[in-house]
C-alpha cells in the first residue's frame, strides 16, 4: 500500500494532467508535517521534469507509437523522480510504492504493474547514471509552447537571449518572502532581504513561521508585490479602491501605508471574499468589502478614489516558479477572455479616478498583451490620462524613475510582474 504522501502526489498529477486543473493551494493539508516535505519535493520534480521523465520512458516501451495511460505515466514519473533526485528515499521504497500506485484503480493502471516494476527495477540498479542521463536530456522537453512564448516575452526588453538562465532560475523551488505587520520580535530564522528593504526571507533550514502568520503578525508576499507597493506618491490619499482584492495582500499593504484612508475592497468570488475578510480582520486593516463583479459596480454611480489598485485576473505567466503546473496548463488558457476582462475592468475603473489621483494596474504576467499593450492603447485613446513615474529605475526598463514596473527577469529574484501607473 503506497503511503499517503505518494497517493496525494499521484492524485495531484491526475488533477493537472487528467483534468487540466491547477494544484490546489492546500493540496498537502491532510499530510502529516513529516511527510509534507517529501511530498512537495516529489510533486515539484514530477511537474518540473514531466517532459523529460516521459521522454526517458518512451524508448523502453515495446510499442513506442502507443501512448501510455495516465495512471502508468504517473506511477513511473513518481518512481523515477524519487530514484533520480530524492537520494533520501531508499530503492525499495521508490520502486515498491510506485508499483503499488500502479496497481491502484484510482491513480494507477493495474495491467501495467509488470511494466512499471521492470522499468523501475532497471533504473534502480544505477541511480547516479539515471540522474545524469535525465539531467543530460534537452531542457526544452520540459517547456510547453506557452512557456516558450512566456520566456521570450520576459526577455524581450533586454533584447532576447538568456532563455536557459531564466529557465534554470524558474526550475529552482521558490523561496517565500515575508512582510512583518507588527512591531514585535520576528520569529527565529527570518532574515532581512538584501534586495528590498522591509522584505524578509527564511534562513536555510529555519522553521516556516506558521504561527506568526496565523496570528496576523506578518504575511507571505512575493518580492515583486512588495516592490510594487513601495511606490513613491506624495499627494494626499483619503479614498482607496482595491478593485480585485482577495486574498488581501495589497489591501493590507495599502491600509498600513495610508492609515487615514478609507478602503473599499471589491472581490467577486464569495469564497475568496471570505478569505479577504478574515485576512484583513486578522491584520487589523479596516475596509468596506464589496462582494460583486467590479465592472458593473464601477459603472454604477459612486465616489471617485485618490488611489485605485487594479490587480487584475491574468494568465499568471510570471508565477511559473511557484506554480510549475502552469507550464503544462498555459496552452489551454483562454487568453482572449482574460484580455477582455482586463480591458473591461480598466475602462470601468478609469472614470472613478479623482483628479490628481493614481491608478495602478498590475498583473503577475510577462506577456506584453496583458500589460504594456493595454497601456499603449489607453494612452493613445484617452490622452487625459498620463503616466506617473512612481517606481525607481531598477524596477523598469528605462534609465530614470518609471511608470512601467517590469523588473528584469535575470537580475530580479521576484515573480514576473508588469504594472503601470497613471494619473489624470
Ligand atoms: C490577482 S488576484 C488579486 C490579489 C490581491 N490583490 C492581493 O494582493 O492579495 C485577482 C482577484 O480578482 C478577483 N476578480 C477577478 N475578476 C474580478 C472582477 N471582475 N471583479 C472583482 N473581482 C475580480 C479574483 O477572484 C481574484 O481574487
Residue 62: predicted pLDDT: 87
Residue of the CA atom closest to atom 11 of ligand 1: 244
Judged by DSSP in three states, 33 sits in helix
Whether 179 and 221 have beta carbons less than 8 Å apart is answered as yes
Determine the distance separating the centroid of ligand 1 and the alpha carbon of 313, expressed in angstroms.
Answer: 6
Whether 193 and 187 have beta carbons less than 8 Å apart is answered as no
> Residue 108: which pLDDT band, with cuts at 50, 70 and 90?
very high
Nearest to 71 by CA among 32, 28, 103, 117: 103
The answer, yes or no, to whether any atom of ligand 1 lies below 6 A from the CB of 222, is no
User: For a pocket test of ligand 1, which of 179, 245, 310, 312 has the largest count of ligand atoms closer than 8 A to its C-beta?
Assistant: 245
> Residue 63: which pLDDT band, with cuts at 50, 70 and 90?
confident
Q: 6-46 pLDDT, tens per residue?
A: 999 999 999 999 999 999 988 999 898 888 989 999 999 99
* Euclidean distance between CA atoms 298 and 308, whole angstroms: 11
Nearest to 13 by CA among 256, 329, 240: 329
* Euclidean distance between CA atoms 228 and 220, whole angstroms: 15
Determine the distance separating the centroid of ligand 1 and the alpha carbon of 43, expressed in angstroms.
Answer: 27
> Residue 394: which pLDDT band, with cuts at 50, 70 and 90?
confident
Domains identified in the chain and CATH numbers: 4-138 (1.10.940.10), 177-220 (no CATH), 223-423 (3.40.50.150)
> Residue 355: which pLDDT band, with cuts at 50, 70 and 90?
very high
The answer, yes or no, to whether any atom of ligand 1 lies below 6 A from the CB of 272, is yes
Mean residue pLDDT of the chain comes to 96
* Euclidean distance between CA atoms 260 and 274, whole angstroms: 24
Determine the distance separating the centroid of ligand 1 and the alpha carbon of 18, expressed in angstroms.
Answer: 27
* Euclidean distance between CA atoms 162 and 33, whole angstroms: 38
* Euclidean distance between CA atoms 397 and 372, whole angstroms: 12
DSSP assignment of 144-213, as one string?
-HHHHHHHHHHHGGGTS--HHHHHHHHHSPP--EEEE-SSSPPPTTEEE-SSSTT-EEEPTTPPP-HHHH
Judged by DSSP in three states, 264 sits in strand
> Residue 393: which pLDDT band, with cuts at 50, 70 and 90?
confident
> Residue 87: which pLDDT band, with cuts at 50, 70 and 90?
very high
Determine the distance separating the centroid of ligand 1 and the alpha carbon of 341, expressed in angstroms.
Answer: 11
Least confident of 61-75, 345-359, 405-419: 61-75
Is the per-residue pLDDT at 2 higher than 90?
no
> Residue 205: which pLDDT band, with cuts at 50, 70 and 90?
confident
* Euclidean distance between CA atoms 267 and 274, whole angstroms: 10
Amino acid at each position: 500500500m503506497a503511503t499517503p504522501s505518494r497517493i496525494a502526489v499521484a492524485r495531484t498529477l491526475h488533477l493537472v494532467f487528467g483534468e487540466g486543473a491547477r494544484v490546489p493551494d492546500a493540496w498537502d493539508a491532510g499530510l502529516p508535517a513529516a511527510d509534507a516535505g517529501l511530498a512537495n519535493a516529489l510533486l515539484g520534480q514530477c511537474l518540473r521534469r514531466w517532459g523529460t521523465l516521459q521522454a526517458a520512458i518512451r524508448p523502453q516501451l515495446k510499442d513506442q507509437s502507443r501512448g501510455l495511460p495516465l495512471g502508468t505515466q504517473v506511477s513511473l514519473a513518481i518512481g523515477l523522480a524519487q530514484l533520480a533526485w530524492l537520494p533520501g528515499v531508499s530503492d525499495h521504497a521508490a520502486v515498491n510504492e510506485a508499483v503499488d500506485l500502479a496497481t491502484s484503480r484510482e491513480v494507477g493502471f493495474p495491467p501495467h504493474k509488470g511494466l512499471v516494476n521492470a522499468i523501475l527495477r532497471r533504473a534502480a540498479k544505477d541511480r547516479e547514471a539515471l540522474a545524469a542521463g535525465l539531467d543530460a536530456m534537452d531542457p526544452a522537453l520540459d517547456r510547453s509552447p506557452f512557456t516558450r512564448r512566456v520566456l521570450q516575452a520576459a526577455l524581450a526588453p533586454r533584447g532576447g537571449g538568456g532563455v536557459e538562465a531564466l529557465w534554470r532560475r524558474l526550475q529552482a523551488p521558490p523561496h517565500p518572502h515575508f512582510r512583518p505587520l507588527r512591531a514585535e520580535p520576528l520569529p527565529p530564522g527570518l532574515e532581512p532581504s538584501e534586495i528590498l528593504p522591509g522584505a524578509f526571507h527564511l534562513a536555510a533550514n529555519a522553521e516556516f513561521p506558521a504561527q506568526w502568520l496565523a496570528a496576523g503578525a506578518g504575511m507571505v508576499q512575493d518580492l515583486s508585490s512588495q516592490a510594487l507597493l513601495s511606490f513613491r506618491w506624495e499627494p494626499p490619499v483619503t479614498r482607496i479602491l482595491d478593485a480585485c482584492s482577495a486574498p488581501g495582500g495589497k489591501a493590507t499593504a495599502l491600509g498600513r501605508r495610508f492609515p487615514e484612508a478609507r478602503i473599499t475592497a471589491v472581490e467577486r468570488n464569495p469564497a475568496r471574499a471570505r478569505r479577504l475578510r478574515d485576512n484583513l480582520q486578522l491584520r487589523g486593516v479596516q475596509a468596506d468589502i464589496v462582494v460583486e463583479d467590479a465592472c458593473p459596480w464601477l459603472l454604477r454611480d459612486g465616489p471617485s478614489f485618490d488611489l485605485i489598485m487594479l490587480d487584475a485576473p491574468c494568465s499568471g505567466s510570471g508565477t511559473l516558479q511557484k506554480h510549475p503546473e502552469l507550464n503544462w496548463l498555459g496552452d489551454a488558457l483562454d487568453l482572449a477572455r482574460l484580455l477582455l476582462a482586463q480591458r473591461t475592468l480598466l475602462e470601468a475603473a478609469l472614470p472613478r479616478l479623482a483628479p490628481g489621483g493614481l491608478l495602478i494596474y498590475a498583473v503577475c504576467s510577462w506577456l506584453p498583451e496583458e500589460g504594456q499593450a493595454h497601456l499603449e492603447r489607453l494612452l493613445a485613446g484617452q490622452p487625459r490620462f498620463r503616466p506617473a513615474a512612481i517606481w525607481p529605475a531598477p524596477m523598469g526598463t528605462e534609465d530614470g524613475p518609471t511608470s512601467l514596473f517590469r523588473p528584469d527577469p535575470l537580475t530580479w529574484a521576484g515573480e514576473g510582474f508588469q504594472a503601470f501607473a497613471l494619473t489624470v
